[in-house]
Chain A
Amino acid sequence: MRKSAADRFRHLFNRSLILLRHRHHHHPFPSSSSLSPFSRSRFFSSTPFSMASDSPFPVTAQNINPKVLKCEYAVRGEVVTLAQNLQKDLQANPGSHPFDESLGQQPITFFREVLALCDHPAILDKSETQGLFSTDAIQRAWQIVDQIPGRATGAYSHSQGVKGLRDTIAAGIEERDGFPANPDDIFMTDGASPAVHNMMQLLIRSENDGILCPIPQYPLYSASIDLHGGFLVPYYLDEATGWGLEIPELKKQLEAAKSKGINVRALVVINPGNPTGQVLGEENQRDIVEFCKQEGLVLLADEVYQENVYVPEKKFHSFKKVSRSMGYGENDITLVSFQSVSKGYHGECGKRGGYMEVTGFSAEVREQIYKVASVNLCSNISGQILASLVMSPPKVGDESYESFNAEKENILESLARRAKTLEDAFNKLEGVTCNKAEGAMYLFPQIRLSQKAIKAAGDANTAPDNFYCKRLLNATGVVVVPGSGFGQVPGTWHFRCTILPPEEKIPAIVTRLTEFHEKFMDEFRD
């Protein structure tokens, strides 16, 4: 029986855990599995592939959708659950642990002004409102509310999103890229993640349909492929060259998959990268576009970090711009570009706003995409409004421009400084090397663990990087995600850390981290 994408994935990258698999008949890779407060052990006796005899209940873990069982999502996995429990502890007993926690980025004022006014349009024409809100925020709110039929911000919208807001976004894309964008190509979703799921659903017909994904990757992709019963075809980013994406590697993996009878349907590229933080060079992007065109692959471009670039020598170029500037249009390449309000300088994760721009496919397929979108009726309106603001922020000359730009620059410059500080701190640690974060919000240092540490992990029935991360959490309160959740070259260990802790807290975090690391290295010296 063909293995699940996640199983294969883990097998490739954690060969040293074969030991564990023989020792226990449990689920083999506990490191990237989720452990919740509810279950004593997640590792009950049936494997994902066996259909145990029906229990007295209709819905049991033995007879639920096996694709659900197979999929993994480390970003909210075991370590994070542990952290949440510690947090509860701290709330109940302040001081029970040697740390506290919160990240504290401030939202962009102009955006929140507009959103508040759209949430409560009844106050738009009151004179008192002018005393509390900036003039251009009121103007923008009026403009938006007028684009919504009946000014009803509480009504379901068109299933692709309010037309006027899509017009704004299309205009924003055009301004960013210098090439036209069609509002009818835009599908607004509750965050970028549901849009990714929609595409996976469309593309994956069976376990013989493969999707090329970068390793390391943001585990939404592996989880989504598993949920839809497809096959993840990995391509390795090269750590030695700053996580470079090499076309020969793509070609190699594509051929290998084809020879196994896999129909490779699409290529996922995350740019800037998550967890790896690299920003692709334009020439590299052209090669990728060419590759997709020649091989007939859909290019799925995850561009949610497009505003997070921290190095002067790199710039974000959308794949849409790159393809169009190569002279490739609708008939040449099928491209899906994902954007979100969760990242950038706005960081509005909780709003669940995002969209995908789908170009280069037939009208009939567009109908199908629309149909699936319509079953959920529409995405949340507030998120739609925010997405339009993100793609069309205050301009020079607007009343709010100065303060908006100051807030934005402040956040981005701070992110760049934090990226550098943490990168330097990691590189100072014994046995740790860390590539520069050119963009996005993460660092993905490699840590060389001793044999003793690896053995201790095995004894604790957990992957070595997970072992390190749990120890780190318990000692310092710092929550990171083990590299095995993202994929890594077998025998190497990483963890993903965000660059988001408040700047003034970073020195303390670095100190705690360094102390812990030194102790850990000493404890497990071979």
Chain B
Amino acid sequence: MPPKPLDYGSINENVKKSQYAVRGELYLRASELQKEGKKIIFTNVGNPHALGQKPLSFPRQVVALCQAPFLLDDPNVGLLFPADAIARAKHYLSLTSGGLGAYSDSRGLPGVRKEVAEFILRRDGYPTDPELIYLTDGASKGVMQILNTIIRGQDDGILPVPQYPLYSATIALLGGTLVPYYLEETANWGLDVNELRQSVEQARFKGITVKAMVIINPGNPTGQCLSEANLREVLQFCYQENLALLGDEVYQTNIYQDERPFISSRKVLMDLGPPISKEVQLISFHSVSKGYYGECGQRGGYFEMTNIPPETVDEIYKVASISLSPNVPAQIFMGVMLHPPQPGDISYDKFVRESTGILESLRRRARLMTDGFNSCRNVVCNFTEGAMYSFPQIRLPPRALEAAKQAAKVPDVFYCLKLLEATGISTVPGSGFGQREGVFHLRTTILPDEEDMPAIMDSFKKFNDEFMEQYEDNRGYSRL
């Protein structure tokens, strides 16, 4: 009986090679346990609303009105919706040709893209062309489109930071080669250009053409915020080494310290002036899923292209057009997010209350969690400067490593599964993101409700300290 096309042995090998730990083994096990009735705390994905964060009122009001425009004709609509939301809904409907149900331009509604460009100008002080801004169903789709354009085959290397596994998974799916480089944990996950240079040289020595570099700023899972100097170094490095730069900036409004506010890669590039500002090929990504919006389920994002030749832009447009258009409601979310209520608007006060409430709480939780982890035995945790995650290092004793081997599990997976079974806390093992040999981490989010945090950290501490008790025997620990 000949193998059938969808038999396991017959499918695309790249699909099999690709891994995405964020919804991998730990998540599946957690889901099983949840079905069995165990209470699970899902800290595996940056999914704020799933952990009780409320949506902001204003954008939801605007989109609801756009969904049901007949409401706008109802004399009672003002009882449920404030006047500025009504006005904004009418504005966005006017930007569509046929309302939310019509395919938009494959690049997104021109009116919204113009608003994105205006936002970028306000943020950075440099004008940008709306024609070079493409809205996508989430930033992830944009990343996949761009990587698909860059990667020709096995010889094309990409340089992701210890990284959100969207990048490694997509590179594998496309049959490219991942060129790793390590951030420096002891220097607060700092980015060292010499380290970068070494990685690129090693890859080239192996015959790999390194095409592009990815930075995630603020970082995921590591949470560090790059300094302006660091960003300049990275851009100059890309210029010297002829790499395109993918700037994943979806966490740009999740900043929990004041020493290093967010500065966009594009601004730094433009500040550097010619020739570099006209030559480095930069693609910047943003999303409605993070920040204080947390609207993951809407699937709204965009990418902005700088210094990409017109013929390449044409090709990117062509591929975008095959999927016809990004979803229209999320485009409106993007417009509203980048153009929030202003002082004097009816909804302004509520908007400020809601958004600062969320950001201040995130800042507190970042601190709570970092301190909580640092108070645990054999756990060392860098401060979460930005984004939504904590990435503590767990120093596993040799006997724990042996036990993991016996159980045929990678050590951090072993630890995380035990953590899950004991406490219901569902994390993602560090091996899903990449880490140095012999060093183990887990990634959790800082998103559980502030009220629940102390109990969660206590639960973790109890588990961890018992685990260490069980497996320690003073012979020494796994570490750098």
Contacts and interface: CB of A to CB of B under 8 A. Distances in A.
B319 A365 contact: no
B315 A154 contact: no
Interface string B283-315: 000000100001111110000000111111111
A371 B311 contact: no
A134 to B, nearest CB: 11
A342 B328 CA distance: 12
Contacts of B12: 201-205
B60 A122 contact: yes
A-B complex: 9 closest residue pairs judged by Cβ atoms: A152-B49, A350-B328, A76-B321, A381-B297, A374-B23, A61-B311, A352-B327, A155-B50, A120-B64
A2 B158 CA distance: 28
A77 to B, nearest CB: 8
A437 interface: no
Given A191-B324, A376-B138, 14 more contacts: A36-B314, A57-B281, A61-B311, A76-B106, A122-B60, A129-B80, A132-B76, A156-B45, A190-B141, A227-B148, A350-B98, A361-B7, A362-B6, A372-B173
Contact of B15 (A131, A155, A350, A368): A368
A69 B311 CA distance: 10
Contact of A377 (B11, B23, B71, B329): B23
Contacts of B312: 59-61, 64
A202 B70 contact: no
Nearest to B46: A156
Interface in A60-115: 60-61, 63-66, 68-69, 71-73, 75-76, 84, 102-105, 107, 109, 112-113, 115
Contact of B166 (A113, A265, A375): A375
Given A202-B12, A334-B5, A152 B50 contact: yes
A500 to B, nearest CB: 11
Contacts of A194: 323
Contacts of A116: 64-65, 67-68, 71
Nearest to A127: B79
Nearest to A203: B5
Given A60-B309, A349-B102, A365 B327 contact: no
Contacts of B309: 57, 59-61
B297 A156 contact: yes
Nearest to B21: A374
Contacts of B52: 150, 152
Contact of B319 (A38, A71, A105, A382): A71
B319 A156 contact: no
A303 interface: no
Contacts of B131: 37-38
A347 B101 contact: yes
A378 B296 CA distance: 9
27 contacts: A44-B311, A58-B242, A61-B314, A64-B149, A64-B312, A65-B152, A65-B174, A71-B318, A76-B318, A107-B100, A119-B63, A131-B79, A150-B50, A153-B297, A154-B48, A155-B47, A349-B102, A349-B325, A351-B100, A351-B329, A352-B327, A371-B24, A376-B138, A379-B137, A380-B297, A380-B299, A381-B297
B327 A372 contact: no
Task: Determine which residue in A63, A68, A203 has the highest number of CB atoms from chain B within 10 A of its CB, and name it.
Answer: A68
B243 interface: yes
Contacts of A38: 131, 310, 313-314
Contacts of A105: 98, 101
A364 interface: yes
Contacts of A205: 10-13
Given A63-B152, A349-B101, A120 B79 contact: no
B60 to A, nearest CB: 4
Contacts of B328: 350-351
B99 interface: yes
A60 B315 CA distance: 10
Interface string B143-177: 01000111110000000000001100110011000
B48 A350 contact: no
Contacts of B50: 149-150, 152, 155-156
A260 interface: no
A349 B18 contact: no
B215 to A, nearest CB: 15
A476 to B, nearest CB: 19
Interface in B45-79: 45, 47-52, 55, 57, 60-61, 63-65, 67-71, 74, 76-77, 79
Contacts of B48: 154-155
Contacts of A58: 150, 211-212, 242-244, 281
Nearest to B298: A380
Nearest to A370: B23
Interface of B: 2, 4-8, 10-16, 18-20, 22-24, 45, 47-52, 55, 57, 60-61, 63-65, 67-71, 74, 76-77, 79-80, 96-106, 131, 137-138, 140-141, 144, 148-152, 165-166, 169-170, 173-174, 211-212, 242-244, 279, 281, 289, 294-299, 307-315, 317-319, 321-330
Interface string A341-359: 0100011111110000000
Among A59, A376, A377, which residue has the most Cβ atoms of chain B within 10 A?
A59
Contact of A383 (B5, B150, B319, B327): B327
B242 A375 contact: no
Given A65-B148, A220-B322, A113 B101 contact: no
Contact of B322 (A201, A223, A265, A348): A223
A377 B101 CA distance: 23
Contacts of B20: 371, 374-375
A128 B7 contact: no
Contacts of B5: 203, 263, 265-266, 296-298, 334
Contacts of A342: 103
Interface in A20-58: 34, 36-39, 42, 44, 56-58
Contacts of A202: 6, 11-12, 15
B70 A34 contact: no
A462 interface: no
A107 B99 CA distance: 9
Contacts of B211: 58-59
A119 B18 contact: no
Contacts of B70: 109, 112
Nearest to A38: B310
A101 to B, nearest CB: 9
Given A39-B310, A150-B50, A350 B327 contact: yes
A14 interface: no
B140 A377 contact: yes
Given A128-B76, A155-B297, A377-B23, A68 B148 contact: yes
A435 B63 CA distance: 42
